């Protein structure tokens, strides 16, 4: 009995200390900066707008059909849905009452003015490397040029006690330590600029770097382990490996990469899912120099160490299909539903229909994106460079058995090779798609 009492006491003390440390981080771990910013400076505002584009703030902080930056987009987590907040300068419901210190602390340190810790869905761990000058410019833009919208934030659906926010302080202590940007060793200034954008504002790692058990990105920068930007799954989309290796970007030229970032398509592939939004809301607005910098930096990331490199096998599919041999499992389903666009040679039509042959999204270790885009369809981003944004219709009307066989065929056709897709994989994705969060946009309904 005495032991039990002691254990209870120890547990309560640990909890109290844990809470105490968490509650005090605003004073020692994430102190508020005292700095004045001229929010009326038009040059600063313009630069801030460009940087806010680079940071793609609008993508998460805008609900479909909703006012820009007024929040409401739902993000799925295993525990529930988190809704992005209103970051328009409305003083009551948005960030209109923030001074620069409040803004800086939210963006780079993940802390609200009332001391509440932000969920790491906000990529403050990446934004930590954003310079003071860039943060100030964004503050000027948000305060002076974004239209204020009165819209209350939507509470998360995460149940108590997981909904308690103070334990997030411990997450920040463990995974979001203060750090400054360190340029990679390179003679090329564009590589350094690319690293600054990729690690920081563009927060590519939020989707493309695998996450650990605590939802932390396993690497926030290139650290020699090969984990940074090596591909990850989020909301049922596999954000592909961006390293300069086999299943990554090794076959892409810098020019192809720039074209893709600017337009969401190139001769070999097309963006869909979340990447389509990234191009539409963010990357298409970046200058050629910054897009080239991003591409050059990504091409500088070495292959993951100690991993066998993927090589295409011989293409026997093209000759078989052109010769009328549809006997391979899945081939007839491909002929029926896919050839009209993706063609017998799996090459699609440049800048219209993506190729399947040699497309690393297709033979990625993780087939999530292939499965989701096939079930639910996808749409290219709309950019000024192309008057038509093409879609792929969804094929949820095909059976799990047919889809599994079909995707296994595609993943292993035309020189591709990858693991089989199973009926259970398809069923799992159907569930995931059925349980996507309801995007909250009350002002759209009014």
Report in angstroms how near the CB of residue 356 gets to other proteins at its nearest: 14
Among positive and negative, which fits the CA dihedral 336, 340, 342, 344? positive
Would you say 386 is a known binding-site residue?
no
Rounded distance between C-alpha atoms, residue 178 and residue 175, angstroms? 10
Cα 291–Cα 293–Cα 299 angle in degrees, nearest 5: 105
Report in angstroms how near the CB of residue 377 gets to other proteins at its nearest: 4
Query: Is 438:74 a contact under the CB 8 Å cutoff?
Result: yes
Would you say 341 is a known binding-site residue?
yes
Structure-token pair, residue 315? 């293409």
- The residues that touch other proteins, with contacts defined as CB under 8 A, are 322, 324, 326, 332-333, 335-337, 339-341, 343, 345, 347, 349-353, 376-379, 386-388, 390-394, 396-400, 402, 427, 430-431, 434
Cβ-proximal residues to 266 (8 Å cutoff; 6+ apart), any chain: 256, 259, 260, 351
Measured between its terminal Cα atoms, the distance across the chain in Å is 61
Report in angstroms how near the CB of residue 358 gets to other proteins at its nearest: 13
Q: Which is nearer to other proteins, 144 or 382 (CB)?
A: 382
Residue found under tokens 């990357």: 283
Structure-token pair, residue 436? 């996507």
Report in angstroms how near the CB of residue 74 gets to other proteins at its nearest: 19
Rounded distance between C-alpha atoms, residue 88 and residue 99, angstroms? 14
Would you say 57 is a known binding-site residue?
yes
Q: Give the three-class secondary structure for 378.
A: strand
Report in angstroms how near the CB of residue 391 gets to other proteins at its nearest: 5
Q: Which is nearer to other proteins, 387 or 446 (CB)?
A: 387
Would you say 337 is a known binding-site residue?
no
Would you say 208 is a known binding-site residue?
yes
Q: Which is nearer to other proteins, 290 or 345 (CB)?
A: 345
Q: Which is nearer to other proteins, 183 or 349 (CB)?
A: 349
Would you say 439 is a known binding-site residue?
no
Q: How many CA atoms lie within 13 A of 131 on its CB side?
A: 10
Q: Which is nearer to other proteins, 199 or 280 (CB)?
A: 280
Binding-site residues: 57, 60-61, 204, 207-208, 338, 341-342
Binding-site residues for heme c: 57, 60-61, 204, 207-208, 338, 341-342
């Amino acid at each position: 009995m005495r032991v039990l009492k002691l254990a209870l006491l120890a547990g309560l003390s640990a909890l109290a200390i844990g809470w105490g440390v968490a509650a005090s981080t605003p004073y020692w771990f994430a102190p508020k900066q005292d700095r004045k910013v001229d929010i009326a400076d038009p040059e600063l505002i313009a630069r801030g707008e460009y940087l806010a584009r680079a940071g793609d703030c609008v993508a998460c902080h805008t609900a479909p059909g909703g006012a820009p930056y007024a929040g409401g987009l739902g993000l799925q987590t295993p525990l529930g849905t988190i809704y992005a907040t209103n970051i328009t300068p409305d003083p009551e419901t948005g960030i209109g009452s923030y001074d620069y210190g409040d803004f800086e602390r939210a963006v780079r340190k993940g802390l609200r003015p009332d001391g509440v810790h932000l969920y790491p869905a906000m990529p403050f761990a990446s934004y930590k490397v954003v310079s003071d000058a860039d943060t100030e410019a964004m503050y000027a833009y948000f305060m002076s040029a974004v239209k204020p919208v009165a819209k209350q934030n939507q509470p998360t659906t995460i149940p108590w006690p997981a909904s308690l926010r103070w334990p997030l302080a411990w997450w920040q202590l463990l995974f979001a330590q203060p750090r400054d940007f360190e340029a990679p060793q390179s003679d090329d200034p564009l590589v350094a600029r690319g690293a600054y954008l990729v690690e920081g504002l563009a927060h590519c790692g939020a989707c493309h770097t695998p996450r650990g058990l605590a939802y932390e990105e396993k690497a926030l920068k290139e650290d020699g382990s090969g984990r940074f930007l090596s591909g990850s799954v989020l909301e049922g989309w596999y954000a592909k490996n961006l390293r300069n290796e086999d299943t990554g970007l090794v076959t892409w030229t810098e020019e192809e990469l720039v074209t893709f970032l600017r337009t969401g398509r190139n001769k070999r592939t097309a963006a869909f899912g979340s990447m389509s939004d990234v191009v539409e809301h963010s990357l298409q607005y970046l200058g050629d120099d910054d897009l080239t910098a991003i591409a050059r930096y990504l091409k500088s990331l070495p292959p993951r160490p100690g991993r066998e490199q993927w090589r295409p096998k011989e293409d026997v599919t093209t000759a078989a299909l052109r010769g009328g041999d549809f006997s391979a499992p899945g081939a007839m389903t491909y002929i029926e539903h896919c050839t009209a666009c993706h063609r017998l040679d799996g090459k699609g039509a440049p800048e219209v229909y993506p190729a399947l042959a040699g497309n690393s999204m297709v033979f990625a270790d993780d087939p999530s994106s292939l499965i989701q885009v096939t079930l639910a369809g996808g749409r290219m981003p709309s950019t000024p460079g192309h008057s038509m944004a093409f879609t792929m219709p969804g094929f949820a009307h095909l059976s799990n058995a047919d889809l599994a066989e079909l995707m296994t065929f595609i993943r292993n056709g035309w020189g591709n090779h990858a693991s089989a897709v199973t009926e259970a994989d398809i069923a799992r994705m159907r569930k995931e798609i059925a349980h996507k969060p309801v995007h909250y946009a009350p002002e759209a309904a009014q």
